[in-house]
Chains A and B, each alone.
Chain A
Amino acid sequence: MLDKIVYGNVTVLNLIIASAIILAAIFIDKLLTLHLKKSLKNKVNKAHLEIIVKVVYYAIIAIAILIVLSMLGIQPSGLLVAGGIAGIVIGFASQSIVGNLISGIFLIIERPIKIGNVVDIDGTMGFVEDIRIVATTIRTYDGICVRIPNEKVFTTNITNYFANAARRFEYVVGIRYSDNADKAIQIIRELIEVEPFALKYPKPQVFVHNLGDNSVNIVVRPWAPSTYWYDLKMELLWKIKKTLEKNGIEIAFPQRTLWFANELKSSTTKKTESGKSNNS
């Protein structure tokens, strides 16, 4: 069974060994890169460390592929020539498809976005549903699927809201000038402290940002896990408003104090008139 020839001189056993070599290479790669990260952590700059790890990772994979190719009777040089010619032919025939395909390969290698991330690609915002070799599918918040060619994904600006583990958001809470801002800050801090998704670290910022026309403006900047920040944002502001009001602190609204010039004049006139009558 294992000696059965699949093609040329390649047997089933050769195919099994080739698969085993690839799997072993991936396993060794994982171990080695983990070891490199651990041992070089404090010795090499972070950016350089990433490059070293990537070079080692792909070098091992490349060596494994070369070994496997020679085992399967495929000459890499021949493959390159054949691939080059095929590439030119396909490139001329369908430029955009090849462009998307190459972009797709780079997207998969570079991984600026991952499946499940919330992203904004050229104005289309939503969850990454799938990254295929030619196109990427985005599910918008309205539940609509948008298929974007990979060439566009690769060349346009991408905002990835899930790229980092945590993110910050901001509220501005305007209270009356007659209210105690220190007390308001303390209440807001306590509310943030009891919210599980408002992160302990990085510490939230709560401070008087400016003295506005109608209110003392307190800026509230909590951090939350990137995956749950919007849930927290939706809940926290209303809790702040209700708790502040419960403690006698009101949210200020625009108001103007008007002084009437006529009122002042009429009172002056009255005084003058009464003075005149007294004299007479």
Chain B
Amino acid sequence: MMTSFYGTHEIPVKIKNEKLYIDVEKTADNLIYKREYAGEKIEKLILSSEARIHINPIEPVNLPKEITPYLLIEFEKPLIVGPRQTKDAFMTFPVEIGVYISDKRNFELIDILALAKKKFTLYGEPQNGVICKYWRSDVYTSEPLANSHYEGILNLHIKNISNKWQEVTKTVFNAYGMKIYYSEKQVSMRANMKILSDATAETDFIDSPLKKKMKKSLELYTLRKLPIVSAKYIMQEGI
């Protein structure tokens, strides 16, 4: 594990582990950003001499290409929730790491990397479904251990408002509205899943950290896009 990976870094920056290497160094009047991961090398020239580097987890829907704002988490084992019951469960989600450069006020994303597996899936049928980033996770009743560079911890607040027992095998989230918090050792999100009926549920995020001292990540999807899209997601193709 690397120490003080996430957070604000003064230049020069050198971060190295067995697979990842990030280096930001000063030349005469400029900065050079270098990153190596899994054989992929990136080098960027930054035309500024004064800047800071911020590394924080971002919404995990950008890599390998940003083709969808949705994240689907499939559970290793189904969850059964009783009628009119509210329960908390924990699971993991993939982490994507955003590298920002900033002056005193403005932040600009210069690089995104992901150490976790990247995979897409279809939620629903081909004719009316949506493409989602895919992640498979075990379900826990207490906080699991997770390597914060690969995966974060999702605290899912499940509320079954129907009058039936419901079996939940997956959940889908909209990246517009994700509230990611981080500390040196942990990345986390808190979300609600309201089960409306056999095949329908509504998901959204809670804007609060899992632990008190966690910092809030810069929200990529509100920095880059106009907030005209609802932050909620209505799962209509099964739960």
A: residues with CB less than 8 A from B are 37-38, 41-42, 163-167, 194, 196-197, 199-202, 223, 225, 227-228
B126 engages A167 (CB within 8 Å): yes
B200 engages A42 (CB within 8 Å): yes
Count how many chain B residues have C-beta atoms less than 8 Å from C-beta atoms of the other chain. Answer: 27
Sample of 17 more A-B contacts, CB < 8 Å, known A38-B234, A197-B64: A41-B200, A41-B236, A42-B197, A165-B124, A165-B126, A165-B129, A165-B131, A166-B122, A194-B117, A196-B119, A199-B120, A199-B131, A200-B119, A201-B121, A201-B122, A201-B123, A225-B131
From known contacts A41-B236, A42-B197, infer whether A196 and B129 are also in contact, taking CB-CB under 8 Å: no
Tell me whether B108 is interfacial, beta carbon within 8 Å: no
Tell me whether B145 is interfacial, beta carbon within 8 Å: no
What are 26 inter-chain pairs, A to B, with CB distance below 8 A? A38-B200, A38-B234, A41-B200, A41-B236, A42-B197, A42-B198, A42-B199, A164-B126, A164-B127, A165-B124, A165-B128, A165-B129, A166-B131, A167-B126, A196-B64, A199-B120, A199-B122, A199-B131, A199-B134, A200-B119, A200-B120, A201-B121, A202-B122, A223-B126, A225-B67, A225-B120
Interface of B is mostly: loop
Q: Which residue of B lies closest to A163 (CB)?
A: B127
A194: B residues at CB distance < 8 A: 117
A37: B residues at CB distance < 8 A: 236
Q: Which residue of A lies closest to B68 (CB)?
A: A225
Most chain B CB inside 10 Å of its own CB: which residue of A38, A165, A199: A165
Q: Which residue of B lies closest to A227 (CB)?
A: B67
B197: A residues at CB distance < 8 A: 41-42
Q: Which residue of B lies closest to A201 (CB)?
A: B121
Q: In the complex, how many angstroms separate the beta carbon of B70 from the nearest chain A beta carbon?
A: 11
B225: A residues at CB distance < 8 A: none
From known contacts A41-B200, A42-B197, infer whether A202 and B126 are also in contact, taking CB-CB under 8 Å: yes
B: residues with CB less than 8 A from A are 64-65, 67-68, 74, 117-124, 126-131, 134, 196-200, 234, 236
A200: B residues at CB distance < 8 A: 74, 119-121, 134
B131: A residues at CB distance < 8 A: 165-166, 199, 225
B64: A residues at CB distance < 8 A: 196-197
Q: A110 CA to B191 CA in the complex, in Å?
A: 37
Q: In the complex, how many angstroms separate the beta carbon of B164 from the nearest chain A beta carbon?
A: 12
Q: A199 CA to B198 CA in the complex, in Å?
A: 25
* Smallest CB-CB A-B distances: 4 pairs: A200-B121, A196-B118, A164-B126, A166-B122
B67: A residues at CB distance < 8 A: 225, 227-228
B74: A residues at CB distance < 8 A: 200
B65 engages A228 (CB within 8 Å): yes
A163: B residues at CB distance < 8 A: 127
Most chain A CB inside 10 Å of its own CB: which residue of B64, B122, B200: B122
B119: A residues at CB distance < 8 A: 196, 200
A197 engages B120 (CB within 8 Å): yes
Q: Which residue of A lies closest to B234 (CB)?
A: A38
Q: In the complex, how many angstroms separate the beta carbon of B83 from the nearest chain A beta carbon?
A: 16
Q: A20 CA to B196 CA in the complex, in Å?
A: 35
B126 engages A166 (CB within 8 Å): yes
Q: In the complex, how many angstroms separate the beta carbon of A249 from the nearest chain B beta carbon?
A: 25
Q: In the complex, how many angstroms separate the beta carbon of A45 from the nearest chain B beta carbon?
A: 14
Q: In the complex, how many angstroms separate the beta carbon of B50 from the nearest chain A beta carbon?
A: 38
Q: Which residue of B lies closest to A43 (CB)?
A: B197
